[in-house]
Amino acid sequence: MDKPLLSVIVPSYNEEENVDAFYRAMRDEVASTHYRLEVIFVDDGSSDRTLTELQRLSKWHSNVKYVSFTRNFGKESAILAGFQHAKGDCLIVIDADLQHPVELVHELLLGFEEGYDQVIAQRDRKGESFVRSTLSTLYYKLMNKVVDVKLENGVGDFRLLSRRAVDALLVLSEGNRFSKGLFSWIGFDQKVVHYENVVRKNGQSKWSMQKLINYGIDGIVSFNMKPLRLCLYAGSGILLFSLAYIVFTFFQIMRTGVEVPGYFTLISAILALGGIQLVSLGIIGEYIGRIYNETKRRPHYLVKETNLDRGIRYEKAK
Ligand code: UDP
Ligand code: MG
């Protein structure tokens, strides 16, 4: 029988200094296993020489595949493109910047051979700025209270997926892809392996605070309806409270007559209600925006260039 094929999916956005080193490191690592390797780089509309590097690399090495987007569509779309083009029996999603240690491949494959469909790499947060790690920890605490799927701190996209787990992911066709949530949503037997956080060597992180905050909001609203319900609860709570207050004031007036006009109570009621209404509207707007996006049914990405001759896997299967 043929050796099993491992597809490694590498979303790459402005990683010109990293792709070559990454490929070499990965190839050397996989060489000591009994897997054949294909590395699929997804150039997410880089503005540097990433694509040129990939073209050069793929000339020399036949197991280097690349898909290059027409613009920056985001890491989630890059991962999806990787899934759609990979032919492997198992797939690994990994960053190009060597922050995800390639040595972990052995442990991931071991998990796969033990029969797990998802082998998840979880990192500690060493070397990360205090603000960022505290914010993330808080975020995950909040998320897990709010969303319907379980998300864990330090767990990212770095993981191994079996062919059937990937096929399951490909069936989920939503436009707004929050992959952490999707990975958790499909379920299957999962195993967690741990690694130490590594500080990025070349290039810069593409995640600004703004991007991270947007990503966080995406995560919350793409996986549940609970924020909408929260508006409902908050609204009802405040309504009850106001009713009670109205009744109370009414009897107060009946007993003692009209007092000094209650500027304080009035202004606080107006401000609080106004605030809550705006927040609720914002939340509803988020959902409506998402519905709007989904109804447009736009593709997740457009391909400018690729060295893969075969079409997208799951479209062929239709
Ligand atoms: N990435 C991408 N598209 C983007 C942003 C990032 O494909 O719009 C890739 C990037 O090239 C890297 C991975 O996603 O391989 C993780 O990005 P980065 O290292 O900037 O994130 P961090 O490690 O700081 O979380
Ligand atoms: Mg990184």
Q: What is the pLDDT of residue 282?
A: 81
pLDDT tens-digit series, residues 236-261: 888 888 888 888 888 888 888 776 66
Ligand 1 pocket residue status of 96, Cβ below 6 Å: yes
* Residue 284 alpha carbon to ligand 1 centre in Å: 30
Which atom of ligand 1 lies nearest, measured to the CA of 13? 11
Asked whether residue 77 carries a pLDDT value surpassing 60, the answer given is: yes
The H-or-E segment that residue 284 falls in is: helix 263-296
pTM for this entry: 0.75
Of 21, 29, 86, 30, which is closest to residue 50 (Cα–Cα)?
21
CA–CA separation, 229 vs 235, rounded Å? 10
Confidence of residue 269 (pLDDT cuts 50, 70, 90): confident
Average pLDDT, the chain: 82
**Contact call for residues 45 and 21 (beta carbons, < 8 A):** no
Ligand 1 pocket residue status of 78, Cβ below 6 Å: yes
* Residue 206 alpha carbon to ligand 2 centre in Å: 8
Polymer length in residues for the chain: 318
Asked whether residue 268 carries a pLDDT value surpassing 70, the answer given is: yes
Ligand 1 pocket residue status of 74, Cβ below 6 Å: yes
> Who's near 9: CB < 8 A, 6+ residues apart?
40, 42, 79, 82, 83, 86, 91, 92, 93, 94
Q: What is the pLDDT of residue 22?
A: 92
Ligand 1 pocket residue status of 29, Cβ below 6 Å: no
CA–CA separation, 313 vs 318, rounded Å? 9
CA–CA separation, 170 vs 163, rounded Å? 11
Which pairing describes strands 36-43 and 5-12: parallel, antiparallel, or unpaired? Answer: parallel
Q: Which of 26, 93, 95 to mutate to test the pocket of ligand 1 (most atoms within 8 A of CB)?
A: 95
Ligand 1 pocket residue status of 95, Cβ below 6 Å: yes
pLDDT tens-digit series, residues 294-307: 787 788 888 888 88
**Contact call for residues 25 and 103 (beta carbons, < 8 A):** no
Asked whether residue 313 carries a pLDDT value surpassing 60, the answer given is: no
